[in-house]
Structures are given as C-alpha cells and as structure tokens.
Amino acid sequence: MKISSTGNAEKMRAMRLTEGKLDVKVLGEVKGPFVGLDHQVFLITTSKGRVVFRQPVKGFGTQKLKAHVWALKQWHELGVPVPRQLAQGNDYAIEEHARGWQAKMFLKNSLQQLGKILKVMHSVKTKGYGFINSRGRGKTRSWHDFIANRFSSNLQKCGKRGLITQRTASQALKEYQANRGYLEEFNDPRLVHADLVGENVFMRPGRISSIIDAGDCISGDPLYDIGYHNALTQDPLEIDEIEKTYGTVKVLHRSALGLEPRYRPVASRAY
C-alpha cells in the first residue's frame, strides 16, 4: 500500500467512528490513509491499543470490504491468526492491528506453519465460485468459468503491456488447455485467500503471527492459494515444505530457471 494525502474529513470520520463504536479514546495522530487497489486503511492508536480502520477506496463499491470481513470472521472462529473484527458498518470495518513484521522471505519452519494454517483456512466450505458476497457465496457458475475469464483477461492485459512474450503466452495457453478438464470437474468450493503475498503475512520470532487483507478472497479450489504463492516465489522447494503439514497437492512446478514444467500427481486432498 502507498500513503495518500487526504483531507482531514476522512481522518476525523475514522476517529469519530472508532471512538464511538469501540468506546475508546484516540491517542495521538491518525496515520494514513494507506491506499491499496480497492481498500484504504488508517492506523489508529487508542486507549485500548492500536486498531485498523478500513474503508473502500473512493469510487469502489463495498463488496470486497464485506467479503474481507466475512472471511476473517470465519477464520478467526477456527483459530486462524487473523485480525479480529471489532466493528463494522456498511462502508467501513474496524479490526485489530496485526502485530509483527511483513514476511520478506519464508524459511522452512514458517512454510510448514503456513501449510498448517492453510489447511484450516481451506476447511471453510462455500457456495458458488469466484469473488464472494457478504455471505460467502461466489457469483460465478463454475470454477472453470471463473478461471477461464480471468485467464483470458489477464493474458490479454499482459500482452498489451509487453509483460510477457508470445512464447510465454503460448505456453500458458497450452497449460490451461491441458488442465481444463480438472477445472471443469472441480465441484468442492472452499474459502480461498487468493492474495498470499509476503506483505499479507506477518511474522513474529519463530511463528506466523497474522494473515491479513482478505479483500480478494474467493470461493474455489484451495490449490489456487498454493499455486499463487509458488508463482510469486518461483521456488518449487517451498511447496515441499508446505506439503509436510498441508498434505500432498497437485501444483505446477517450475525449474530454477522457470522453464520446464513438471507435475506431482495427486495423492490426497488435504481438506
């Protein structure tokens, strides 16, 4: 997230709602907003500790905010380390401040912890597919339709921006066609975080302390989370560590140079 300059009106609103809903006093300056793609947050120190005030970016609707709140409530009830939701309104949410530091890299121990946490997160059953509403229901008819629409759109965007070569685009299309049958057959949707980047995973000494920002969460195949993480790190050995506590998964592995794909067969589902 980046820091944005804004008028005092939004800060005053965040302060007023925080004091009124939580029965606390705001201490010191309200920091922010820190602006993401669809949310912006204020960091607020109160008489009972630090909290995060979250609201949609101007011009965006409230769907992702409501999905974020619903998902974190489900996971918190299962003991997953996520920020506890303290108060919500139609266009805002107030939650605990995540303690620790953002994960810049994952060691073996933290990857095994991540696998264990993901196994619990993925135990939440959902309905429908794709981006969810405030009741955890996806809006798309099938998992294949959701993936196909995003795949086509993102491939075109990357091509127009010169982010991928024609050869890479052709390889991606071949991989999609090779796995289309699996996508069409999938019928056991679960709650998926869908944005497990390092900045959304907080660490404290020896452990993962919090997983934040579920605004992009979806109803679908849990392997999406593991594949997304692997696509960002480009390190197939990380999957080996995650599997030790998550279970055996089917996921596309890349070589160290990101060239030749290889697959591990499905031995079992972990959820």
Q: Which of 122, 125, 121 is closest to 137 using CA atoms? A: 125
- CA 192 to mean position of chain CA atoms: 7
Write out the two tokens for 186: 């999938």
**What is the predicted pLDDT for the residue at 249?**
66
- On whether the CB atoms of residues 25 and 51 are closer than 8 A, the answer is no
Write out the two tokens for 258: 């990101």
Q: Which of 222, 232, 269 is closest to 254 using CA atoms? A: 232
**What is the predicted pLDDT for the residue at 96?**
97
Q: What is the widest separation between alpha-carbon atoms in the chain?
A: 58
CA dihedral 264, 195, 186, 114 (to 10 degrees): 50
**What is the predicted pLDDT for the residue at 264?**
37
- Identity (one letter) of the amino acid at 239? I
- The pLDDT tens digits along the chain (271 residues) read 444 555 689 999 999 999 999 999 999 999 999 988 889 999 999 999 999 999 999 878 899 999 999 999 999 999 999 999 999 999 999 999 999 999 988 889 999 999 999 999 999 999 999 999 999 999 999 999 999 999 999 999 998 999 989 999 999 899 889 889 999 999 999 999 999 988 999 999 989 999 999 999 999 999 999 988 888 887 878 888 999 999 876 544 333 223 333 333 333 344 4
Q: Which of 127, 124, 121, 154 is closest to 142 using CA atoms? A: 127
Alpha-carbon gap, residue 68 to 197, rounded angstroms = 16
Write out the two tokens for 82: 């996520």
Q: 206 exposed, middle or buried (CB, 10 Å; 0-12, 13-18, 19+)?
A: exposed
Helices (H), the chain: 8-22, 63-77, 108-121, 143-160, 166-185, 223-233, 236-246
- On whether the CB atoms of residues 225 and 215 are closer than 8 A, the answer is no
DSSP-derived secondary structure for 168-235: HHHHHHHHHHHHHHHHHH----EEE-----GGGEEEETTEEEEE---TT-EEE-THHHHHHHHHHH--
Please, what is the Cα angle at 26 between 23 and 28, to 5 degrees?
A: 170
Q: Which of 46, 68, 45 is closest to 56 using CA atoms? A: 68
Q: 255 exposed, middle or buried (CB, 10 Å; 0-12, 13-18, 19+)?
A: exposed
**What is the predicted pLDDT for the residue at 6?**
54
